[in-house]
């Protein structure tokens, strides 16, 4: 675990930085978040931004996303136009992409992140304008599950962990013959 | 790829935000769920990438110190892992020990990325005989959010042989002699199916014996004789006195003699010859099974149960303490009273009795021969299975058998080839073997007596190599 982050912080071991300075992308994203929230929602926005930054430090990016978006709903209780929402999402995307610069496969990882975010957001935008919110929500969940399952299958195929019936039968025969 | 509890919690967060979005009719929360979902998918993708590069640079070796063992033996198994490139995954490696092995050590090895190398040596025992192939090692990799288990590494094979005589030499002076026999000449003619000779009719013989076809062909009356078909009585006298306990566990002199005795009993039974068994220790005949052509199950069982007597002469009371004697066990059981255990075990033990002990005044071996032959009307083939510990007793036994006009086969185990550590000094061992050989030859020179040695093949070859070397130097 990084010396800078607490044990409770949620991050993949491959993305952990060694020192405080390694977390400059996240610091940049959180600063942007504070500024954007302050500009769009005033002092309440700054409060939400600070809360989001604190949750990020303590628990990690997914929980910061959850708290930040609940904060948006609270701060903009009267409604929110799509442009402001898009503006508010920029620092969140930066927070999502920021740690990936520390990984050797950063380009592909950033590509995956942006693809999922853009495709998901487009689905929300199109869904809410054409369908009901509950149907859109189901579509979004289905989309995320398909992407996740696709990566899982990719890993199985690449590492040769997929076994067809013929392999399975051969393996069982070998196991029987192994201790004779 | 399996999610950990931490990534499952993140998945739960996605569902929770989606539910909130529907509940409060706020699409902004759905966008937040998309962001969290994207975070999860990216971490999943990074785990996959990290795993691919880690497995490409990871090599695992499973190396048993010995690949050939006897049952119950232990050997060290070393599992080593080398990581050639950096990896941020935590790796734990489980050795793919065969299922039948037993180890008290933890077969799991943790590999730190900083060191790049780890080894663990564990003591593993092999209680089951057979050819055991290692499974590939199971590598569990995790980045804290996802885990995956894959199999990697070498799969060596260990062959475990059962304890007991493996390569038995039966022969004379190092040369193998077949001991299992097929049909054997009876040495006389009589009724049978195989024609022996055609001879002229002698007045006084019954006319029924005249071969009329031969008579017509040869003008004068002729009689055709046939080889007699008789059964050869086989008497096995097996010595299991304490001196026959010499040798490694499961490979004692008695174990070797037992194997040969079983072979001879099976062979004789296969030829339809009556087979009997007498077993003796230092001072008593411990069991007797008179010759019979019936099943040799009891003889087989007795031979398999046979254990070398403990040091010194044992009294019947001491004998009853032994675990291998069903008569004594039955006696003990009956003393215990009429309970359900007695009722259950009595028939089994009853079927195995017949091992009444008869104390003898002199050496039990010759007494057993005398007793065995006194009960027979015809001559027998006496097989003595003993060692060279008491040559005079063996000679006396052979004499007893010859006096009853029986053919004798003496199977002797040279004690020197079974003593632990005796082969450290090969020259001394060879000298002792020569003494044994002299004794064996002295028996073999007697009429109708064949004396053979029974020994472990490899040990005998090692000792005889001294003789070959000496002859080479002399020449």
Cα–Cα distance, B178 to B8 (Å, whole number) = 73
Domain count along chain A: 1
Contact of B111 with chain A, judged by CB distance below 8 Å, is answered with no
pLDDT at residue B338, rounded to an integer: 67
**Interface predicted TM-score of the whole assembly (ipTM), two decimals:** 0.91
Flag whether A50 is in a domain. yes
Q: What is the pLDDT of residues A14-44, one digit of tens each?
A: 778 777 788 888 899 999 999 999 999 888 8
CB A49 within 8 A of CB A61: no
Q: What is the pLDDT of residues A138-161, one digit of tens each?
A: 999 999 999 999 999 999 998 888
pLDDT at residue B224, rounded to an integer: 84
Put simply, the chain B residues between 1 and 30 with a CB less than 8 A from any chain A CB are 1, 6, 10, 13-22, 24-30
Of the candidates B348, B361, B426, B418, the residue with the CA atom closest to the CA atom of residue B387: B418
Query: Residue ranges of chain B with pLDDT lower than 70?
Result: 180-194, 227-230, 310-328, 330-331, 334, 336-338, 349-356, 422, 473-475
Residues in A touching B55 (Cβ below 8 Å): 159
pLDDT at residue B316, rounded to an integer: 44
Domain coordinates in residue numbering, chain B: 168-175+231-474, 189-227
Residues in B touching A83 (Cβ below 8 Å): none
pLDDT at residue B186, rounded to an integer: 55
Asked if A179 lies within 8 A of B49 by C-beta distance, the reply is: no
Put simply, the chain B residues between 27 and 56 with a CB less than 8 A from any chain A CB are 27-52, 55
Cβ neighbours of A98 (radius 10 Å): 21
pLDDT at residue A166, rounded to an integer: 64
Q: Could you give the C-alpha distances from B255 to A144, B245, B321, in angstroms and in order?
A: 71, 9, 22
pLDDT at residue B337, rounded to an integer: 66
Flag whether A124 is in a domain. no
Cα–Cα distance, B110 to B120 (Å, whole number) = 10
pLDDT at residue A78, rounded to an integer: 82
Contact of A101 with chain B, judged by CB distance below 8 Å, is answered with no
The band of A71, judged by pLDDT with boundaries at 50, 70 and 90, is very high
Those residues with Cβ within 8 angstroms of residue B329's Cβ, 6 or more apart along the chain or in another chain: B320, B323, B349
Put simply, the chain B residues between 208 and 267 with a CB less than 8 A from any chain A CB are none
Flag whether A43 is in a domain. yes
pLDDT at residue B471, rounded to an integer: 75
Contact of A173 with chain B, judged by CB distance below 8 Å, is answered with no
Contact of B135 with chain A, judged by CB distance below 8 Å, is answered with yes
Full residue range of the structural domain in which residue A87 is found: 1-102
Of B10, B25, B38, the CB nearest to A96: B38
Comparing B259 with A176, which gets the higher pLDDT?
A: B259
pLDDT at residue B311, rounded to an integer: 56
Dihedral pair phi/psi, residue B100, rounded to 5°: -80, 0
In the predicted model, what is the mean pLDDT of residues A152-176?
Answer: 74
The band of A175, judged by pLDDT with boundaries at 50, 70 and 90, is low
CB B30 within 8 A of CB A124: yes
Contact of B112 with chain A, judged by CB distance below 8 Å, is answered with no
Q: Which CATH number fits domain B168-175+231-474: 2.60.40, 3.40.50, 3.40.390, 3.30.310?
A: 3.40.50
Put simply, the chain A residues between 30 and 59 with a CB less than 8 A from any chain B CB are none
Flag whether A88 is in a domain. yes
Asked if B10 lies within 8 A of A112 by C-beta distance, the reply is: no
Contact of A130 with chain B, judged by CB distance below 8 Å, is answered with no
Flag whether A46 is in a domain. yes
């Amino acid at each position: 675990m990084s010396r800078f982050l607490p044990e409770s912080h949620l991050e993949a071991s491959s993305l952990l930085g060694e020192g405080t300075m390694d977390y400059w992308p996240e610091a940049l994203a959180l600063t942007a978040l504070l500024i954007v929230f302050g500009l769009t929602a005033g002092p309440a926005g700054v409060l939400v931004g600070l809360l989001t930054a604190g949750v990020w430090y303590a628990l990690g990016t997914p929980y910061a996303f959850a708290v930040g978006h609940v904060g948006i709903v609270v701060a903009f209780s009267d409604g929110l136009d799509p442009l402001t929402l898009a503006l508010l999402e920029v620092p969140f995307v930066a927070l999502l992409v920021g740690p990936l610069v520390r990984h050797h496969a950063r380009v592909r990882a950033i590509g995956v992140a942006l693809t999922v975010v853009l495709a998901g957001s487009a689905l929300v935008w199109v869904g809410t304008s054409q369908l009901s919110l509950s149907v859109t929500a189901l579509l979004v969940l289905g989309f995320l599950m398909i992407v996740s399952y696709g990566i899982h299958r990719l890993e199985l195929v690449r590492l040769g962990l997929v076994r067809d019936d013929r392999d399975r039968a051969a393996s069982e025969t070998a196991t029987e013959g192994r201790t004779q | 790829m399996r999610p950990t509890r931490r990534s499952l919690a993140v998945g739960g967060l996605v569902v929770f935000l989606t539910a909130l979005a529907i509940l409060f009719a706020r699409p902004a929360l759905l966008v937040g769920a998309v962001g969290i979902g994207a975070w999860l998918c990216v971490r999943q993708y990074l785990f996959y990438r990290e795993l691919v590069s880690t497995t490409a640079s990871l090599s695992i070796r499973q190396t048993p110190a010995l690949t050939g063992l006897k049952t119950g033996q232990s050997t060290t198994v070393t599992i080593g892992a080398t990581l050639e490139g950096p990896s941020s995954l935590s790796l734990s490696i489980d050795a793919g020990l065969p299922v039948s092995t037993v180890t008290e050590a933890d077969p799991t090895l943790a590999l730190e990325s900083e060191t790049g190398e780890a080894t663990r040596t564990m003591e593993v025992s092999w209680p089951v005989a057979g050819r055991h192939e290692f499974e590939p090692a199971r590598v569990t990799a995790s980045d804290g959010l996802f885990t995956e288990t894959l199999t990697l590494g070498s799969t060596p094979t260990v062959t475990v042989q059962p304890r007991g005589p493996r390569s038995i030499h039966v022969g004379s002076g190092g040369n193998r002699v077949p001991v299992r026999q097929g049909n054997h000449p009876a040495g006389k003619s009589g009724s049978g199916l195989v024609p022996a000779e055609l001879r002229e009719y002698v007045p006084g013989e019954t006319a029924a014996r005249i071969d009329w076809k031969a008579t017509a062909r040869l003008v004068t009356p002729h009689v055709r004789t046939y080889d007699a078909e008789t059964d050869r009585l086989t008497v096995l006298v097996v010595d299991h006195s304490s001196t026959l306990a010499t040798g490694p566990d499961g490979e004692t002199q008695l174990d070797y003699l037992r194997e040969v005795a079983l072979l001879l009993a099976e062979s004789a039974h296969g030829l339809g010859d009556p087979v009997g068994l007498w077993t003796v220790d230092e001072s008593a005949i411990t069991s007797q099974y008179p010759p019979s052509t019936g099943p040799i199950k009891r003889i087989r069982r007795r031979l398999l149960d046979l254990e070398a007597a403990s040091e010194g002469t044992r009294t019947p009371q001491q004998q009853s303490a032994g675990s291998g004697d069903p008569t004594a066990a039955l006696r003990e059981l009956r003393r215990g009273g009429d309970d359900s255990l007695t009722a259950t075990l009595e028939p089994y033990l009853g079927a195995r009795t017949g091992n009444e002990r008869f104390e003898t005044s002199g050496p039990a071996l010759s007494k057993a021969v005398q007793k065995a032959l006194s009960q027979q009307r015809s001559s027998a083939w006496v097989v003595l299975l003993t060692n060279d510990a008491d040559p005079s007793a063996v000679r006396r036994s052979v004499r007893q058998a010859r006096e009853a006009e029986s053919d004798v086969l003496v199977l002797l185990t040279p004690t020197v080839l079974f003593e632990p550590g005796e082969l450290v000094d090969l020259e001394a061992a060879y000298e002792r073997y020569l003494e044994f050989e002299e004794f064996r030859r002295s028996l073999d020179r007697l009429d109708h007596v064949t004396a053979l040695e029974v020994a472990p093949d490899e040990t005998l070859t090692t000792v005889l190599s001294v003789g070959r070397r000496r002859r080479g130097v002399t020449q």
